[in-house]
A and B are shown apart, each in its own frame.
Chain A
Amino acid sequence: DTAVSQTPKYLVTQMGNDKSIKCEQNLGHDTMYWYKQDSKKFLKIMFSYNNKELIINETVPNRFSPKSPDKAHLNLHINSLELGDSAVYFCASSQGRAHGNNEQFFGPGTRLTVL
């Protein structure tokens, strides 16, 4: 069983469209994250949720809206897609935000291409 799964794996869309990426973890973790890996392969945090509560919101355009229906799921909705949104988006989870043993487990990534 996949620990952290994301759908879709690939997403190709036109500028201006709205799209969503889904993430699910079956590890029983209570903290989930969205990271963005740009064309230079640099990974950077976007959002983090702990027990459905938003705890990290980096400087990300408000076209990006995360939603956590329960602690096993964290979805990412993107409005009015722009060319610069093309990247690989990774979901991750860990046991707890204040927990010292905060080993993070990553999903396989979603490669978003905006044309």
Chain B
Amino acid sequence: KQEVTQIPAALSVPEGENLVLNCSFTDSAIYNLQWFRQDPGKGLTSLLLIQSSQREQTSGRLNASLDKSSGRSTLYIAASQPGDSATYLCAVYFQAGTALIFGKGTTLSVSS
């Protein structure tokens, strides 16, 4: 069964800290992996998409890595800010013709 797991479920850090969010998935034969951000009561905003052939992607203070052999991805957030507070979702596209399989998310709280 294809599953995506995110640990921890919640994380609280002071402003300015660098942090890492973890995502693990079953089945290393994936097409791509996508990180999203969801603010309370809002929709999902796509942050980064990593193709199966890529090792990492960067956007501003965000860096996502992919290690297919170990079934892991990490989202690194540098110099965290209160505005980064949200739920971060990892989703994997395992096969063509299917849909994203989501993890349950990590809820991040950054205090000023």
A contact residues vs B (CB 8 Å cutoff): 33, 35, 40-45, 48, 55-56, 90, 92, 97-98, 100-109, 111
A–B complex contacts, Cβ < 8 Å, 25 sampled: A35-B99, A41-B87, A42-B104, A43-B102, A45-B99, A55-B97, A56-B97, A90-B43, A92-B44, A97-B97, A98-B96, A100-B51, A100-B52, A101-B32, A101-B51, A102-B31, A102-B93, A103-B34, A103-B49, A104-B100, A106-B36, A106-B43, A106-B45, A107-B43, A109-B42
Residues of B within 8 A of A101 (CB): 32, 49, 51
**Other than the known A100-B31, A104-B100, what 6 A-B pairs have Cβ atoms closer than 8 Å?**
A45-B100, A56-B97, A90-B43, A101-B32, A106-B46, A109-B42
Residue of A nearest to B43 (CB): A108
Classify chain B: how many residues form its interface, as a range: 20 to 34
Within 8 Å by CB of A97, from B32, B42, B96, lies B96
Residues of B within 8 A of A104 (CB): 34, 46, 91, 100
Contact in complex: A41, B105 (CB < 8 Å): yes
B contact residues vs A (CB 8 Å cutoff): 31-32, 34, 36, 41-46, 49, 51-52, 87, 89, 91, 93, 96-102, 104-105
Contact in complex: B43, A56 (CB < 8 Å): no
The 6 closest A-B pairs by CB, nearest first: A45-B99, A106-B44, A108-B43, A43-B102, A98-B96, A103-B49
Contact in complex: B99, A48 (CB < 8 Å): yes
Residues of B within 8 A of A41 (CB): 87, 104-105
Residue of A nearest to B45 (CB): A106
